[in-house]
Structure 1
Amino acid sequence: MRYFIMVAAGAALWGFWPLFLHPAGLSGVQNAFLAMATMALISPFLLRRESLKDRRATRALVLMGVADALNVALVFAAVKRGPVAIAILTHYLAPLLVALTAPWVIRERRSLRALIGAPLTSLGLGMLIWKPGEDFSGWTAVLGGASAIFFAATVFCAKEAARAWSPIAVTSVHSAVGALTLLILFRGSALPPIEVPVLWVLAGGVVSGLIGNVLFNQGMRHIPTSTTGALTYLEPLTATVLGWLVFHEALGLWGLLGGILVLTVGVWVATEPRTLGSPLPSISGTP
């Protein structure tokens, strides 16, 4: 039971990111840089010669950092733009993308549930995004959906990196690569101003980033993959509830039904029996 609680707690902590991002008032790229830099602080102490010798796993770890930098920047931009529910639920197209592309990327058997779930998820997202008589949240959905593509890429990279690197090393070292990637791509615009609100994102990097990922990664090694997949959906559920309670984001009946459909289909796809070692998504791309 302890490991189930660890995975559930880690996934729920990811859903608390909006609480840290909104008060800071920074751009998505600045939030992403701060979060990844915070998780990267312990990376120098986690480098091991034995792990570095596995070049394939190390290359995967580097690629994971690059993909996750774009993933986090996009999803944080979506969260900042709001509504939070749309940002996180479109971001969570990633598990579906992983299930659909796994037969080609890692030659895993085809997922019948993913094929059935794809159009149902699209329907649910449409119900969630479209609100008659209100401003269309299309850009939030585009940013969240784009982040899902890079999110899915980190999953496959994380699976390979985990062969030689520990869960906490994957979390921290790939974050160092991600922070460097953001600096290269966005230069000075990735650096936040030195002001008090920055502390909110730093706190999020510790609580939702480092602690959340370590809890999740440690627990998932001891419970069935299908169960872990279902528990990851505690993140969008938590974020959606917070958006409603804290940020007063009304979904409406139509949006509520759409969100329930997305979550239900996601859990249904995630709980499909798979072969041992199937890839499993987790936020920030950790394995």
Structure 2
Amino acid sequence: MSKPSIPWLDTLSTALAPAIWGSTYIVTTQILPPDRPFTAALLRTLPAGLLLLLCCRALPKRSAWGRLLLLSALNIGAFQALLFIAAYRLPGGLAAVLGATQPLIVMGLVWLADRRQPSTLAMWASVAGISGMAALLLAPGAVWDAIGLTAAFAGALCMATGTYLARRWQSELPLIAFTGWQLLLGGIMLLPVALLADPPLPVLTGTQILGYGYLSLIGALLAYLLWFRGTTRLPAVAVSSLGLLSPLTAVVLGWLLLGQSMTPTALAGLITVLASVLAVQWSSISASKHTHSISIPTQKASS
């Protein structure tokens, strides 16, 4: 009999993934060669996928390939490409605010596909999270580029849908292989984009090699293992709300390491985002416990 998971420990371990992703902003802007976003995404995902599959050489069943390819495109290939398009065409704050819509998108998918209405607390907490992110990051006079806006929202839609489907489909592959295949296939999808859109890499310094290594080993291999583990143990809405910690971590690290300013409005936004994440987690875990407590007597009665 498998040992039951502890929701708050699962939440904390899953939260490490977006916190790690938040740190990649400093690595990318301060260490890596400039103007090569798709190359950075490729070198982050493809080597990590290869390493994981070398550790766990498990092949998906023939019937599972369609789902795996779709998840790889949503979670890795399309999401990474759209993310960098938005990052180059929009201010970071505006892109992050649009990305903060992920919990609401997941709630809509759960409501439409599973016929499960989200709790009022979770919905209002998610709206508060978007408002807090706007106060934290959205600068006055932001440029509303149509292509950038479309890419940012499409990226949020891809990640939200991928998170929901990964939770719903529950792959029979071991976690390492499930993560590795998505990173590998997503990296392969990014390969032609990187070759066509980015200039060739210059001769890399030792620091730049370490930067790419961090993005791959920590930012992809470890972070996606924690993220996809979370999708198997936590409700999809709870997992998606943790994504708000990524831009929040980037802001805090910029303040601590780069001397970026933190205004009172931004501080209020930061506290609002944290409160929003905690409220969604509490609401989701409480709802999960309530559903479990109802299902136990039914199982006993039918045995």
Gaps of 5+ in 1: 279-287
- Structure 1 position 36, deviation (Å): 1.3
- Tell me which moved more, 59-68 or 261-270: 261-270
Contact 1:229 1:271 in 2 (8 A): no
- Structure 1 position 121, deviation (Å): 4.1
Cα gap change, 1:162 to 1:28, in 2 (>3 Å): farther
What TM-score does the superposition give when structure 2 sets the normalisation length? Answer: 0.71
Residue in 2 that maps onto 1:42: 51
Residue in 1 that maps onto 2:295: none
Contact 1:230 1:266 in 2 (8 A): yes
Residue in 1 that maps onto 2:191: 183
Residue in 2 that maps onto 1:163: 171
> Could you say what the CA RMSD is over the residues aligned between the two structures, in angstroms?
3.7
- Structure 1 position 190, deviation (Å): 5.2
SS at match of 1:206: helix
Q: Does 1:152 align with 2:163?
A: no
Contact 1:90 1:125 in 2 (8 A): no
Gaps of 5+ in 2: 1-5, 292-303
Q: Does 1:29 align with 2:35?
A: no
Amino acid at match of 1:177: L
Q: 2:264 aligns with which of 250, 253, 277?
A: 253
- Structure 1 position 242, deviation (Å): 0.9
- Structure 1 position 76, deviation (Å): 4.2
Amino acid at match of 1:149: L
Contact 2:99 2:153 in 1 (8 A): yes
SS at match of 1:39: helix
Identical residues among aligned pairs (%): 22
- Tell me which moved more, 140-149 or 17-26: 140-149
Q: Does 1:201 align with 2:201?
A: no
SS at match of 2:61: helix
Q: 2:142 aligns with which of 136, 155, 159?
A: 136
Larger Rg: 2
CA–CA separation in structure 1 for the residues paired with 2:132 and 2:244: 15
- Structure 1 position 152, deviation (Å): 0.6
More helix by share: 2
CA–CA separation in structure 2 for the residues paired with 1:222 and 1:115: 21
CA–CA separation in structure 2 for the residues paired with 1:65 and 1:223: 20
Amino acid at match of 1:72: Q
- Structure 1 position 149, deviation (Å): 1.4
Residue in 1 that maps onto 2:105: 97
CA–CA separation in structure 2 for the residues paired with 1:18 and 1:225: 25
Count of residue correspondences: 272
- Tell me which moved more, 112-121 or 240-249: 112-121
Contact 2:100 2:129 in 1 (8 A): no
- Structure 1 position 189, deviation (Å): 2.1
Amino acid at match of 1:13: I
Residue in 2 that maps onto 1:60: 67
Contact 1:75 1:144 in 2 (8 A): yes
Contact 1:27 1:77 in 2 (8 A): no
- Structure 1 position 180, deviation (Å): 1.8
Residue in 2 that maps onto 1:210: 221
Residue in 2 that maps onto 1:281: none
CA–CA separation in structure 1 for the residues paired with 2:100 and 2:254: 16
What TM-score does the superposition give when structure 1 sets the normalisation length? Answer: 0.74
Instruction: Tell me the alpha carbon deviations over residues 77-130 of structure 1, each in whole angstroms, 9 at most, x when there is no partner.
Output: 555678656654543432232123211134444343344345434433443454
Cα gap change, 1:8 to 1:153, in 2 (>3 Å): closer
Contact 2:244 2:277 in 1 (8 A): yes
Amino acid at match of 2:250: A
Amino acid at match of 1:65: S
SS at match of 2:159: helix
